[in-house]
Amino acid sequence: MMKRIEISEPGQPDVLVLKDAEIPEPKPFEVLIKVASAGVNRPDIVQRQGNYKPPKGASEIPGLEVSGVVERLGSNAVGYNVGDRVCALLTGGGYAQYCCAPIAQILPIPEGVAISAAACIPETYFTVWYNLFMQAKLLAGERVLVHGGASGIGTTAIQLANLFGAEVITTAGTDTKIQACYQLGARLVINYKKQDFLEEIRRFTEKKGVNVILDIIGGEYLDKNISSLAAGGRLVQIAFQNGMIGELNIARVMFKQLTITGSALRPASIDYKAEIGKQVLRNVWPLFESRKLIIPIFRRFPLSQASQAHACLEKGEHIGKIVLDVTSEFDEL
């Protein structure tokens, strides 16, 4: 038996309850992972609220990324051995002492990264790498606007874009967050509570605009994002914290030859995620191993305090990631 977090009913953080459950059995091409830590992400909150059903066949337990140790191999699961320290991208099930993951969505923990920190890597790095580099094709010398620079996605995107030669502009809402974004490599940080990001971008770029925008806000940001893009610019929408509906000036899209796209990682196919994982391993892992990347962790909670972790994330004061520690609460690896 194991401990896991269940959503008793849609609602506030206190609907997350610690329960006993059977340890899952890995299917073919899967491994069973003894979880050390699990990352807490905004999709977990949306699921808890009843607004994000897991994909068909996925676990109803929240948790999209974990770190831990391979405990058991399913049939045809090759490439890893029992005892290997890994991190994994999941479609659910991470808030537990044990979880199963497809072998194609597992990566070795980078050299120099603690197992308790590696849980913060899969969801954000897969998302940022795919959307900025595979989809938007961000190039060295281009300018990129990252909304929500102090978020897990934001802190990841700032670092990667900067390390690959792009000039990063981002938005944040407090002096502490602004300073953190500059320390991570941003060239301009706009206080969205006090400044108009469109006007600040026009001033900073001498009205040339930015080449790529990575947006988690949506809603009323859509029109300003379009106006902020340079000719041939690309807008990538990966979330909509301020709503799914926004006004769009189609003429500006046409005459500026803009591309508007988006993605959702969780329901994507295993093959799709496997290709992202290969590129992340090849391009990003060396940056961890050379200590060029850091993992900002705002706060850690034991698994039994998942409700407090959700409340912390919803409060919006965090810089970087929030983590649930599993092994340290119940036993030692």
Confidence tier at 332 by pLDDT (50, 70, 90): low
Cα separation, 142 vs 21, whole angstroms: 50
Residue 27: partners with Cβ closer than 8 Å, 6 or more residues away: 74, 100
pTM of the full predicted structure? 0.95
pLDDT tens digits for 227-245? Answer: 999 999 999 999 998 888 9
Q: Is the pLDDT of residue 333 over 60?
A: no
Confidence tier at 252 by pLDDT (50, 70, 90): very high
What pLDDT was estimated at residue 14?
A: 98
Give the CA radius of gyration of the chain.
Answer: 20
pLDDT tens digits for 118-133? Answer: 999 999 999 999 999 9
Burial status of residue 203 (CB atoms within 10 A of its CB: 0-12, 13-18, 19 or more): exposed
| Angle between helices 152-163 and 175-184 in degrees, nearest 10 | 30
Q: Hey, how many other C-beta atoms are within 10 angstroms of the C-beta on 60? A: 11
Q: Are strands 167-172 and 188-191 parallel, antiparallel or unpaired?
A: parallel
What pLDDT was estimated at residue 137?
A: 98
* 99 touches 72 (CB < 8 A): no
Residue 131 is given by DSSP the state: I
Three-class secondary structure of residue 262 per DSSP: strand
What pLDDT was estimated at residue 328?
A: 79
Q: Is the pLDDT of residue 330 over 90?
A: no
Q: Is the pLDDT of residue 26 over 80?
A: yes
Q: Which domains does the chain have, with CATH numbers?
A: 2-121+266-330 (3.90.180.10), 125-262 (3.40.50.720)
Q: Give the residue-averaged pLDDT of 219-229.
A: 95
Comparing 58-72, 161-175, 240-254, the range with the smallest average pLDDT is 240-254
* 42 touches 81 (CB < 8 A): no
Locate the DSSP E strands across 63-198: 65-73, 85-89, 98-102, 106-108, 143-146, 167-172, 188-191
Provide the CB-side half-sphere exposure for 121 (13 A, CA). Answer: 28
pLDDT tens digits for 158-207? Answer: 999 999 999 999 999 999 999 999 999 999 999 999 999 999 999 999 99
Burial status of residue 269 (CB atoms within 10 A of its CB: 0-12, 13-18, 19 or more): exposed
Q: Is the pLDDT of residue 297 over 80?
A: yes
What pLDDT was estimated at residue 220?
A: 92
Percent of the chain with pLDDT over 90: 95
| Angle between helices 197-204 and 221-228 in degrees, nearest 10 | 10
Locate the DSSP E strands across 177-308: 188-191, 210-215, 229-237, 259-262, 297-302
What pLDDT was estimated at residue 84?
A: 98
Percent of the chain with pLDDT over 70: 99
Mean pLDDT of the chain: 96
Burial status of residue 162 (CB atoms within 10 A of its CB: 0-12, 13-18, 19 or more): middle
